[in-house]
Amino acid sequence: MSFINYSSREINCKIVYYGPGLCGKTTNLQFIYRKTNPEQKGKLISLATETERTLFFDFLPLALGDIKGFRVRFHLYTVPGQVFYAASRKLILKGVDGVVFVADSQLERMDANLESMEDLKINLAEQGYELERLPFAIQYNKRDLPTAVPLTEINSAINTDSTPWFEAVATRGSGVFETLKGVAKLVLMELKKNY
């Protein structure tokens, strides 16, 4: 649910990074934060445990530029990936305009990916959304690891609706901005469709 302010000429959109625990959601935001000009970003807020596991959410506001005289602001959020934070995960999805599903490419995390994708669909449905109708992109992260499942295999297991997908190694930043741009494009096109 975008917030369009004609008075301050701003569009605000909320993008949520979803995925299983330790898949690299926070790492995506950290890389975006590091590589964005200071005037284009706010503080990166992480509500995390002492061991740096996300407890509630990470938040990064970005103002990348203008479109048709409107300042476009993206508010990026991550959810806590660990299974037992289900209640918190639901809350973050409120008012979402676009979702990035970060999948962990390692073979041993395939079940966790599928479980998290199912969890995403259920949580969206509870808020009245359908994943198929939301701007949505998938990122296959950790492509550099030796146990990474081949792309065609992971894609056919996770991506059942021909969703746009991106390869990434978030720790090095490869694919991170491509994914963000991919989902941002879908969000703005949705805006175009609705107005």
Binding site for another protein (CB under 8 A): 1-8, 12, 14, 42-43, 45, 47, 56-57, 59, 61, 64-65, 67-70, 72, 75, 87-88, 90-92, 94-95, 127-129, 133, 177, 180-181, 184-185, 188-189, 191-192, 194-195
Helix or strand (DSSP H, E) at 139: strand 136-141
Identify which of residues 95 and 114 has a Cβ nearer to another protein in the complex: 95
- Total residue length of the chain: 195
Identify which of residues 121 and 185 has a Cβ nearer to another protein in the complex: 185
Shortest approach of another protein to residue 170 CB, angstroms?
A: 17
At a CB cut-off of 8 Å and minimum separation 6, what does 182 contact? 137, 164, 166
Shortest approach of another protein to residue 102 CB, angstroms?
A: 19
CB 165 within 8 A of CB 159: yes
**Closest among 115, 103, 110, 107 to 168, alpha carbons compared:** 103
Shortest approach of another protein to residue 154 CB, angstroms?
A: 26
